[in-house]
Amino acid sequence: MSYDLNLFQKNDIKKPFLETELKTKLQHSFKYIFTHTKENQVFGFELGKSSKEGYLEFSFQDEKGCYWTYCSYGVEPQVFNDFKRDVKTVATKLDMLIQDPQISDDLMDPFDFEIEDEKSDNRFEFIKNVTEKVVEQLPYFLPSKTKHFILYFIVSKDSTTRKDVLLTLGNDKLYASKVEPDESIDQVVKREISGLTGSTEYKILEVLDHDFVKDRFGKELPRYGVYIEIPYFDPVDKKLTQHVEWKSF
């Protein structure tokens, strides 16, 4: 998992930079510059202040017409701020707009992009802590030795109101499933998620002990809460196997 930032050219230009132009504009800020080009167009580049060690990586996204870069949630807050500072420098030198998809789809001028932004820092710390918990729970993502149940807590952010929302089956009910021996929770989610959301795109944030329920033979088995983040969508526009609706929380 990573904290992503996108850089867009102004005036709705959605094509890669030419290699000479990119290097000329960045060479005074970064000593290490390595480009991945095709017909002199830069489809990816790496930047460093002194050498390749600790470099930033940018990749051109054809479908969006922007450059994407990322920072691991495993780093310390100061490293995260250094990452944002370097991205701001790149955007300034290349005269590009910055998008922070964790916060908003809006495009920002580099001048308005704050390094120590409260929303950004809080989001980073939240996902960092969740990720650390997930790492501690890796056995849940390995093949299970026994049968157990799971409850889906599918969350997103309403694209209009920007409020956090939970996907339900109506009447505050959540989708439940089971994991058979030799299956992992991730395998089950991957198999079932498209029927609930119309997409295969998801991130498992954490898995927590939830409660115990009985199977059809009356045996009490553990049930885990699986917290999943997905891109927001309108259920009306999707052909799904379940009737679902969003609820604010």
Q: Are 198 and 239 in contact (CB under 8 A)?
A: yes
- As given in the structure block, the two tokens for residue 139 are 């056995």
Cα angle vertex 105, ends 104, 111, to 5°?
75
**How confident is the model over 108-121, as a mean pLDDT?**
91
- CA distance to 140, 144, 217, 230, per residue, from 221 (Å): 15, 13, 11, 28
Q: How far is CA 249 from the centre of its chain?
A: 20
Percent of the chain with pLDDT over 70: 94
- Average model confidence (pLDDT) across the chain: 88
pLDDT in tens, 42-65: 999 989 887 655 678 899 998 899
CA 81/CA 162 separation, integer angstroms: 24
How much is the pLDDT for 124? 87
Find tokens 């980073």 and name the residue: 124
How much is the pLDDT for 100? 95
How much is the pLDDT for 138? 57
CA 5/CA 67 separation, integer angstroms: 8
Structural domains of the chain in order of their starting residue, each with its CATH number? 2-134 (3.30.1400), 139-248 (3.90.79.10)
Beta bridge partners of 220: 214
**How confident is the model over 11-27, as a mean pLDDT?**
94
**How confident is the model over 195-221, as a mean pLDDT?**
89
CA 120/CA 159 separation, integer angstroms: 17
pTM: 0.55
Predicted confidence (pLDDT) at residue 1 exceeds the cutoff of 70: no
Q: Are 43 and 57 in contact (CB under 8 A)?
A: no
Find tokens 């309108």 and name the residue: 234
CA 102/CA 2 separation, integer angstroms: 10
Predicted confidence (pLDDT) at residue 206 exceeds the cutoff of 70: yes
| Torsion sign, CA atoms 84, 106, 98, 63 | positive
How much is the pLDDT for 205? 86
Q: Which residues of 29-40 are buried (b: 16+ CB within 10 A; e: fewer)?
A: ebeebebbeeee
| Torsion sign, CA atoms 173, 202, 243, 224 | negative
Predicted confidence (pLDDT) at residue 178 exceeds the cutoff of 80: yes
How much is the pLDDT for 87? 96
How much is the pLDDT for 226? 94
Dmax over CA atoms of the chain, in Å, equals 71
- As given in the structure block, the two tokens for residue 210 are 């939830």
